[in-house]
Chain A
Amino acid sequence: MTPQSSFMILAPVDSGRVEELRRILASMNAAPGRADANNPLLPFGRFDIHFSRLVILDDPTKDDIEVYGVPRRSYPLYLAMLADVDGDADDFLAQLMQHSSKGLRTIFSCCQPAPRDDLKAWIEQYRVEPAANYINWRGRTVRQLREEAALAAYLQQKRADVAGKPPREMHRMLRGYVDAETAAGRLRLTPEARTPIGWTIRNLANLIGVPLAVLLLSPFLLLYLPFFAVILRSKERHDPEICPVPESAHAAKLSSLEDHYVANQFSAMGTLKPGLFRRSTITFILWLLDYTARHIYNRGHLTRVSTIHFARWVFLDRKQRLFFASNYDGSLDSYMDDFINKVAFGLNVVFSNGVGYPKSDWLVLGGAKNEQKFKYFIRRHELATEVWYTAHPGLTAADLERNTRIRQGLEASLSDEEASEWLALL
């Protein structure tokens, strides 16, 4: 298996050159909301990138913190570049350096400081790791999903040739056709690569280490729990909601970038509620979230939600702010409805630590169940994603899963019943 990695550069922008930066970023698009896969600055299509985006983290809600009587804070304006890639992130960076260093220099030329002689050292300085990361299907590479899509399309064409045969016979015949196509080099089904040993060790260490740490901490956590509950309830009673209807120009700008493909991007940020309590709570929660995403929710769904391809949560500015980015299927409204109805608790435990979130109870209840306030909150905190690339603009996560199941079934030996189930996928 070749596990995916998350890659992110977060660099401060020269505030006098934001418009110039926007023009540079716009030049990477075929149309607003649709990156040109072959754009000269960063030809996404030539790398093993699932999704990538460039977004200026210009948070229109950053002064909301004033409701706590806290003075306004000034933060740098950042340019973020994100990519979800196959294999090791360092290897990806090396490829970027090899093929696109000129383009990267242009993209980051409006940063303060801008990269000088040593671009790689500059990038290393501004690389950040997410607090939590979600991958829909661990180890499914761009190459694999493309090969599987081609396989599914080929089998679609061969339906007529096998119609009327018993299920196992159909399976056998289709497999024969595919074998012939593969032998002729017209189809490719690359076998899974060996999992890098370093990754396996780190993953195992995480698998055991996190529960072990929780176990060791548990006496303290138990002692803390009553205090936690009292403080939490008091805060939940008093924390103000800031959920006005989003400004129509902001909403229109965001929606102009949406619904070009079967999937959409979502970038958002906000400020954490002041104080150590919220900061420690969200740190702990994201740590657990990352653990469950890594070890439990790595085969097609994050709890009940199966429409997210990749998502990440990133702390900024010494954990004063949080950035969230996801790639999901369908329109934003259906994405939000999906979340409200299926995983409101999951949204609440994380985002109720953010300034202005709809009132939650006991960290998991309420919150997103205030449907309209939640939707306003989300839209208001959303950022316009200047450049967004997807390796598969016509394929949803369900498509990718179906294609993977088709390939697995093709390569397996099946009973009659299993063969019928498999054929139903075609």
Chain B
Amino acid sequence: MASASVSGVDFADIQGIVRFGYKHMTEACFLLLEIKDAAAARVWLSSAPVSSARDQKPPPPTALQIAFTAPGLRAMGLSEALMAGFSSEFLSGMTGEESRSRRLGDVGASAPAGWRWGGNPQQAPHLAAMFYAEPGRLAGWMSTLQDRIWESAFRVIETLETSDLHGREPFGFADGISEPELDWGLRRPFVADQLTYTNQLALGECLLGFRNEYGKYTDRPLVAAGDLPSAEDDSSKCDVGRNGTYLVFRHLQQDVRGFWQFVDRAAGGAASERDKLAESMIGRTLDGDPLVAATGKNGFTYEADAQGLRCPFGAHLRRANPRTADFSTAVNGTLDKLIHQLALKPRKFRDDLIASTRFHRIVRRGREYGPALAREDALQPAPPGDPERGLHFICLNGNISRQFEFVQNAWLMNSKFNGMTGESDPLLGNREPLIDGSGTDAFCLPQAAGLSSRVSGLPQFITVRGGAYFFLPGLRALRYFVRAGA
């Protein structure tokens, strides 16, 4: 029998990372694990203090989150019938098909064959144990949990340490400013056409079991019985997905020296020009201020900058979150909407080239790794043994294909984004030429006089070193997994 309430949000059943970034827990470590002994793994997981999203005052000093890959859920003994309810991207995995790697830009130096983890079956994790703690408490927190049962249950494939760069990412830019506001109150009406951009997002775009931006329920495993929430869209079924989400993990190595040395050269060595170029490539200032007129740090769209004069079309943030509404121009009334829908008005070159943003949002929860490097120091050649720096990119979404993969493919890696050509994302681009030999390594800054200023020969600044698709279950679903294969 299904139990518990079907409406409203049960914070106690949701892993806390969905709701909180755990910002006060500045220490974190991610362990990628293989299940050596499923029985022992069940014992450990059944008593693991996995943190929920309920409010706690004072906030807890430590947290633990657990997420599984598809091979991990199979290793836990879940039936194929249940597995079939997960999305095909999750089942196939980040590296499961060559065409997926092509779409994600994981080719050349970023190809899975060269990854430290996740690139081949021997290094494919079953689960991720994510430890968070307030300063000074991480080591203790981890050793408490890594008991004898843990030792017999898991083999550690990779230990991913993180560092606290005080709200900056490794290149030195303020990070994590723009996140969609999830509709926790379930109050946002579902509209066929969203005429103005909003940062609010249906809860179902992140959490399974809730309605998404289409007003529909994203497919997820439903079962006939279990100690699970019941499915909102089918009361005869229990919802394995409810309060869970897909977690995309990408280990991104950032060449901080390479980045600053390149922009320094491109700007002719002048510090202010150098920073300006870097800020244009990012789409915000170093301190995180938008390049276009805005209310606060996040209240803006690019509508008033239609020519990209303030923030270039190709800037990382303008690609990753173009802030478009369902129509690319203002719509007044029903008749005007019909005219827009049928595109009967004269059209400008860039009209309708970018998809509506609300169907392609992600909730970011990544953490940096490696020591900070000030940009003046970054201009110096690397000393011997210079440590690796980068980002453990983590995002949450309800539909990997429509959200993470779309953003990565259609907006970031795409050298044809928004009518441009010859350039992919200035940060994430792999610079691999297209099949006809044309380049993707430029960056254009549109100018009022017309002819854009063009920076070419961008090297690869970010290399993918690992990655996988995980499922971050609700807490009852986690306990269900522990029991299901026993």
CB pair B416 A405 closer than 8 Å: no
- The CA of A93 and the CA of B451, in the complex, are separated in Å by 45
Question: Is B265 positioned at the interface, with any CB of A under 8 Å from its CB?
Answer: no
Nearest-CB residue, chain B, relative to A251? B88
Please, which residues of chain B bring their CB within 8 A of the CB of A183? none
Chain A residue nearest in CB terms to B421: A399
CB distance from B408 to the nearest CB of A (A): 11
Q: Find out whether the CB atom of A255 lies under 8 angstroms from the CB atom of B97.
A: yes
The reply to whether A331 and B103 contact each other, CB–CB distance below 8 Å, is yes
Distance (whole angstroms) from the CB of B122 to the closest CB of chain A: 22
Cβ of B102: which chain A residues have Cβ within 8 Å of it?
259-260
Q: Cβ of B347: which chain A residues have Cβ within 8 Å of it? A: 300-301, 306
Contact A304 B88 (CB under 8 A): no
A256 in contact with B97 (CB, 8 Å) = yes
Q: Do the beta carbons of B452 and A334 come within 8 Å of each other?
A: no
Task: Flag whether B177 is at the interface (Cβ < 8 A).
Answer: no
Is there contact, CB below 8 Å, between A421 and B450?
Answer: yes
Given contacts A262-B434, A337-B402, A422-B450, contact A329 B216 (CB under 8 A): no
Supposing A262-B416, A420-B449 touch, asked if A255 and B352 sit within 8 A by C-beta, the answer is no
**Interface of chain A residues 360 through 399 with chain B (CB within 8 A):** 369-372, 392-396, 398-399
Cα-based distance from A255 to B92 in the complex (angstroms): 12
- How many chain A residues touch the partner (CB < 8 A)? 60
Q: How far is the CA of A392 from the CA of B343 in the complex (A)?
A: 27
Q: Mark B77-115, 1 if CB is under 8 A from A, else 0.
A: 000000010001001100001111011000000000000
With A306-B352, A369-B214, A419-B450 already in contact, the answer to whether A337 and B435 are too (CB < 8 A) is no
**Chain A residues within 8 Å of B399, by CB:** 372
Interfacial chain B residues near A84, Cβ < 8 Å: none
**Residues from chain A with Cβ under 8 Å of B99 in the complex:** 255-256, 258-259
Closest CB-CB distance, B110 to chain A, in whole Å?
A: 16
Q: Is A315 an interface residue (CB 8 A)?
A: no
Report whether A402 and B419 are in contact in the complex, using a CB–CB cutoff of 8 Å.
yes
How many B residues, CB 8 Å from partner?
Answer: 55
Q: Which of B267-275, B284-292, B353-361 contacts A (4 or more CB under 8 A)?
A: B353-361
Per-residue CB contact flags for chain B residues 362-389 toward chain A (1 = under 8 Å, else 0) read: 0000000000000000000000000000
Q: Give complex CA distance A132, B410 in Å.
A: 29
Q: Of B326, B349, B414, B435, which is within 8 A of A402 by CB? A: B349
The answer to whether A331 and B416 touch across the interface, beta carbons within 8 angstroms, is: no
Q: Are B450 and A170 in contact (CB-based, < 8 A)?
A: yes
With a cutoff of 8 Å between Cβ atoms, the chain A residues found around residue B356 in the complex are 341
- Distance (Å) between the CB of A212 and the closest chain B CB? 21
B87 CB, min distance to chain A CBs, angstroms: 9
Query: A162 to B108, alpha carbons, bound, how many Å?
Result: 36
Give A18-47 interface residues, CB cut-off 8 Å to B.
34
Question: B446: which of A34, A396, A424 is its contact (CB, 8 Å)?
Answer: A424
A170 to B450, CA, bound (A): 10
B144 within 8 A of A: no
B198 an interface residue at 8 Å Cβ cutoff?
no
From known contacts A259-B103, A337-B355, infer whether A170 and B401 are also in contact, taking CB-CB under 8 Å.
no
Contact A420 B448 (CB under 8 A): yes
> Cβ of A167 and Cβ of B410 under 8 Å apart?
no
Query: Are B414 and A330 in contact, CB atoms less than 8 angstroms apart?
Result: yes
Given known contacts A255-B99, A334-B410, A304 and B352 CB-to-CB distance under 8 angstroms: yes
Contact string against A for B residues 198-233, beta-carbon threshold 8 Å, 1 for contact and 0 otherwise: 000000000000000010101100000000000000
B451 engages A245 (CB within 8 Å)? no
Q: Is the CB of A333 within 8 A of B402?
A: yes
Instruction: For residue A13, give the distance in angstroms from its CB to the closest CB of chain B.
Output: 27
**A residues less than 8 Å from B436 (CB atoms):** 392-395
Task: Give the docked Cα–Cα distance between A405 and B348 (Å).
Answer: 11
Contact yes or no, B451 A304, CB < 8 A: no
- B445 to chain A minimum Cβ distance, whole angstroms, is 11
A423 within 8 A of B: yes
Let me know if B340 is at the binding interface, CB within 8 A.
yes
Q: Which residues of B contact A343 (CB under 8 A)?
A: 341
Give the total number of A-B pairs whose CB atoms are below 8 A apart: 138
Is A193's CB within 8 Å of the partner chain B? no
Q: Would you call B216 and A424 a contact (CB within 8 A)?
A: no
Contact A333 B450, beta carbon cutoff 8 Å: no
- Residue among B92, B340, B342 facing the most chain A CB atoms (10 A cut-off): B342
**Does A333 lie within 8 Å of B406, measured CB to CB?**
yes
Q: How far is the CA of A162 from the CA of B340 in the complex (A)?
A: 39
Complex Cα gap A101–B462 (Å)? 51
Bound together, the chains give a CA A330 to CA B405 distance in angstroms of 12
* CA of A136 to CA of B166, assembled, Å: 50
Residues of A within 8 A of B196 (CB): none
A63 interface contact, C-beta 8 A: no
Task: Give A290 to B403 CA distance when docked, in angstroms.
Answer: 34
Within the complex, the shortest CB–CB distance from B333 to chain A, in Å, comes to 18
Closest to A260 in B: B435
Per the bound structure, the CA–CA distance linking A167 and B449 in Å amounts to 6
Query: Assuming A341-B326, A394-B438, is B352 touching A424 (CB within 8 A)?
Result: no
Residues in chain A near residue B446, CB distance under 8 A: 424
Interface pair B219/A255, CB less than 8 Å apart: no
> Does B409 make an interface contact (CB < 8 A)?
yes
A137 within 8 A of B: no
CB <8 Å contact, A333 and B353: no
Residues of A within 8 A of B435 (CB): 34, 260-261, 393-394
Q: How far apart are the CA atoms of A166 and B347 in the complex, in Å?
A: 27
Contact B349 A394 (CB under 8 A): no
Q: Mark A245-257, 1 if CB is under 8 A from B, else 0.
A: 1101001100110
Which residues on B sit within 8 Å (CB–CB) of A245? 84, 88, 219
Residues of chain A lying within 8 A (CB to CB) of residue B218? 372
Contact partners of B163 in chain A: CB under 8 A: none
Q: Does B437 contact A (CB under 8 A)?
A: yes
- Indicate if the CB atoms of B342 and A303 lie closer than 8 Å: yes
In this assembly, does A401 line the interface, its C-beta being within 8 Å of a C-beta of chain B?
A: yes
B216 touches A370 (CB 8 A): yes
Q: Kindly provide the distance from the CB of B278 to the nearest chain A CB, expressed in whole angstroms.
A: 22
Q: How far is the CB of B427 from chain A (nearest CB, A)?
A: 21
Task: Name the residue on A nearest B307 (C-beta).
Answer: A424
- Interface contact B437-A394, CB-CB below 8 Å: yes
Using Cβ atoms and an 8 Å threshold, which residues of chain A touch B409? 330-331, 333-334
- Judged by a CB distance under 8 angstroms, whether A180 is at the interface is no
Question: Which residues does chain A contribute within 8 Å of B187, judged by CB atoms?
Answer: none
Q: Tell me whether A345 is interfacial, beta carbon within 8 Å.
A: yes
B454 within 8 A of A: yes
> What are 7 A-B contacts with C-beta separation under 8 Å?
A258-B99, A262-B434, A297-B343, A301-B347, A345-B341, A369-B192, A405-B349
Given A305-B352, A333-B402, A337-B402, 5 other A-B residues pairs in contact with their CB atoms under 8 A: A170-B451, A248-B92, A372-B219, A394-B436, A426-B451
Closest 3 CB pairs of A and B: A423-B450, A394-B436, A420-B450
